[in-house]
């Protein structure tokens, strides 16, 4: 029972750290008082500590199997994670309003939506893919709760950000939503899109793949599970 309580507390603390700052403009007031760099440094450190607590707690939770793990399942996160890292690096500093990781003060250019044409929420999409891929391969109850929660969070966040965009953009919202998507592969088959964005996105994609390759061998040491079948 204590192991379940520890898991519940760790997950509640991690989720609360992401929800509470957005209540009543608390985050904006803290940024104004501390400065963006100090606030996000402290916030990032707290998130890492709480996430480490979650990882330890889920590993200690009682093992209740919901579905079995088969060796082929491990290929799902292995195939998904390169895309996750690419999305993360492409989403940092995104010139698209009202999403996680967007560049402050950047204006959306309808003539060149960039990566937003593929996804206007690449960081949240990366979290969704990461959680969904790991949910398939981890069928124990604690992991199902963990990855199921992490998969639902970006869906709710993307819906909320889109509502904010629709409210703030007014008459321009229709154009914005027509040029962007939660996920669309159509821009990837358009030469015009590649001509506009290859130079900016290629280094980010390369860095994402390099980061994935560098971190993959550390998976067993950090998480405690060898990622391959």
Q: Delimit the domains of the chain by residue range.
A: 1-62, 64-223
Q: With a cut of 70, say whether residue 185 has pLDDT above it.
A: yes
User: If you compute the radius of gyration of the chain from its CA atoms, what whole number of angstroms results?
Assistant: 19
Q: With a cut of 90, say whether residue 125 has pLDDT above it.
A: yes
d(CA 101, CA 120): 11
Which of 100, 116, 88, 108 has its CA nearest to residue 22?
A: 100
Predicted confidence (pLDDT) per residue in 202-216, tens digit: 999 999 999 999 998
Cβ contact 82:145 at 8 Å: no
User: In this predicted structure, what is the pLDDT of residue 29?
Assistant: 85
First to last CA, the chain: 32
Q: 133-158 as b/e, with b when 16 or more CB fall inside 10 Å?
A: bbbebbbbbbbbbbbeebbebbbebb
Cβ contact 110:30 at 8 Å: no
In the block, which residue shows the tokens 């960081």? 123
User: In this predicted structure, what is the pLDDT of residue 214?
Assistant: 92
Predicted confidence (pLDDT) per residue in 57-109, tens digit: 998 898 899 999 998 999 999 999 999 999 999 988 888 888 887 777 667 77
User: In this predicted structure, what is the pLDDT of residue 88?
Assistant: 93
Q: 12-29 as b/e, with b when 16 or more CB fall inside 10 Å?
A: eebeeeeeebeeeeeeee
Q: With a cut of 80, say whether residue 110 has pLDDT above it.
A: no
d(CA 129, CA 133): 6
Between 123 and 226, the higher pLDDT residue: 123
d(CA 18, CA 11): 11
Q: What angle do CA 84, 90, 92 make, to 5 degrees?
A: 105
Predicted confidence (pLDDT) per residue in 6-42, tens digit: 999 999 999 888 888 877 778 788 888 888 788 888 8
User: In this predicted structure, what is the pLDDT of residue 9?
Assistant: 92
Q: With a cut of 90, say whether residue 148 has pLDDT above it.
A: yes
- pTM as predicted: 0.88
Cβ contact 208:89 at 8 Å: yes
Sequence-ordered alpha helix ranges (H) in 35-73 = 36-60
What integer is the mean pLDDT of 49-60?
89
What integer is the mean pLDDT of 184-201?
90
User: In this predicted structure, what is the pLDDT of residue 65?
Assistant: 92
* Cross-strand partners of 102: 94
User: In this predicted structure, what is the pLDDT of residue 39?
Assistant: 83
């Amino acid at each position: 029972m204590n192991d379940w309580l520890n898991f519940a507390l760790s997950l509640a603390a991690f989720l609360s750290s992401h929800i509470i700052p957005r209540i009543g403009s608390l985050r904006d007031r803290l940024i104004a008082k501390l400065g963006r760099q100090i606030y996000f440094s402290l916030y990032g450190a707290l998130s890492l500590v709480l996430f480490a607590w979650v990882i330890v707690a889920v590993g200690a939770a009682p093992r209740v199997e919901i579905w079995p793990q088969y060796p082929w399942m491990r290929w799902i996160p292995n195939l998904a994670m390169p895309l996750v890292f690419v999305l993360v690096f492409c989403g940092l500093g995104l010139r698209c309003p009202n999403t996680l990781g967007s560049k402050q003060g950047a204006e959306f250019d309808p003539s060149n939506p960039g990566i937003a044409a593929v996804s206007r929420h690449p960081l949240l999409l990366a979290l969704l893919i990461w959680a969904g891929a790991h949910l398939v391969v981890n069928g124990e109850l604690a992991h199902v709760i963990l990855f199921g929660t992490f998969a639902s969070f970006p869906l709710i966040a993307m819906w909320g950000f889109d509502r904010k965009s629709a409210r703030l953009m007014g008459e321009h919202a229709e154009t914005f939503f027509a040029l962007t998507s939660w996920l669309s592969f159509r821009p990837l088959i358009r030469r015009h899109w590649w001509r506009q964005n290859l130079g900016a996105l290629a280094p980010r994609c390369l860095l994402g793949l390099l980061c994935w390759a560098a971190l993959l061998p550390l998976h067993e040491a950090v998480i405690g599970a060898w990622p391959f079948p």
